[in-house]
Amino acid sequence: MRTWAGSIAQPLWLQVGALAVADTAGLGEPSFQQLRIFLTLGEELHFGRAAARLHMTQPALSRQMKDLEKRLGVVPFSRDSRTVSFTEAGRGLTEEARVIVESMGRLRLRAGQWGRTLAGHVVVGTIGAEAAMPYTRAILEHLRASQPRLTVEIRSLNFTEHLVQLMSGDIDVAILRPPVPVGIELLELATEPRVACLAVTDPIADLAEISLADLGDRVFVDVPPEVPRVWWDFWAMDPRPDGTRVRYGPVVSDMEGLLLAVARGDGMCFLPAAARELFPRPGVRYLDVVDLSPSVSALGWPVQYRDRPGVRAVRAAASAIAVSSRGRTPPR
């Protein structure tokens, strides 16, 4: 039997609240991981799919949910042999859990950014084959020579990740192919033609060169909605010079998925001319396009982070490489 000094003088609601606290003492607050599991299960309403998304086993997910129920004092989901659904309490707690998870994600992101600054660490994102390009190697060599105490992490990113992570600050800088959304500054590194990427079975695949008009209304490979549309509209040439809109087909997130879709004949795309040497694939043919505008390679960084030490160091190295390769001062 629990007693408290002076409990008789307390209002009944305070006495009930004290009992509830005592009953759950020692359990602690829900963990960040448990709240992520709660939100993911709420989106999937299926234990197996939620576990797969979170890269964990279904029994482990179930154990975490049972522990979360004890910590919260409510049951967020009802479950029978076939279905999972929100309880009224679970639905009511979803928004609060989402706010906590998103806030914790921002906290971790900012802590990582400051940690990199204090530790002399910089994260350079690359897309496609940018890590293998001569200007990238030259920038990294210059950075190693000029900033020997700075550690550099190269992170290869897919179509969906590269601009999202750059805009969020999850990476410090990126070597990429513009255009980019507002809020990202660029230093141009190189220019090269773009080529059409078609299946070898396409009727025009054996031509020496083609024009945009030769492509007619062929289906173009698409990217996920998280990718800024300004970027993919450029790569799809949408709209075409005559004003027609592009017809889109399969959605892909990375270069290998894109090339597989082309080889299968499910769609076409435009790529930098370097793809001929860097991405030869069975079933894929690259063609020169006489009236297709070129592609630019650039170093990009979020405007609000331009003066962070790591970002400033990479910018200086890229500027030095651009000066030596062009013989002129690059734009700032």
pLDDT in tens, 132-158: 999 999 999 999 898 888 899 999 999
Burial of 269 (0-12, 13-18, 19+ CB in 10 A): buried
Token pair 């179509």 in the structure block, residue? 159
Answer whether residue 1 shows pLDDT above 60: no
Looking at residue 53, the DSSP 8-state letter turns out to be: H
Q: What is the pTM of this model?
A: 0.64
Q: Which whole number is the average pLDDT over 24-49?
A: 81
Using pLDDT thresholds of 50, 70 and 90, give the confidence band for residue 114: low
What pLDDT, in 10s, does the model give residues 221-233?
Answer: 999 998 999 999 9
- pLDDT tens-digit map of 244-254: 999 999 999 99
Residues 6+ away with beta carbon under 8 Å from 195: 270, 271, 272, 273, 275, 276, 286, 287, 288, 289, 292
Compute the radius of gyration of the chain from its Cα atoms: 27
Q: Is the pLDDT of residue 10 over 90?
A: no
Over residues 174-197, the mean pLDDT reads 96
**Which pLDDT score, from 0 to 100, does residue 160 have?**
87
Supply angle C-alpha 92, 97, 99, rounded to 5. 115
Tell whether the model's pLDDT for residue 324 goes beyond 70: no
Cα three-residue angle 196-200-203, rounded to 5 degrees: 85
Q: Which residues contact 221 (CB under 8 A, 6 or more apart)?
A: 248, 249, 250, 251, 252, 258, 261, 262, 266, 267, 268, 269
How confident is residue 28, by pLDDT bands cut at 50, 70 and 90?
confident
Contact criterion met (CB below 8 Å) for 312 and 320? no
For residue 254, how many C-alpha atoms fall within 13 Å in the half-sphere facing its CB?
7
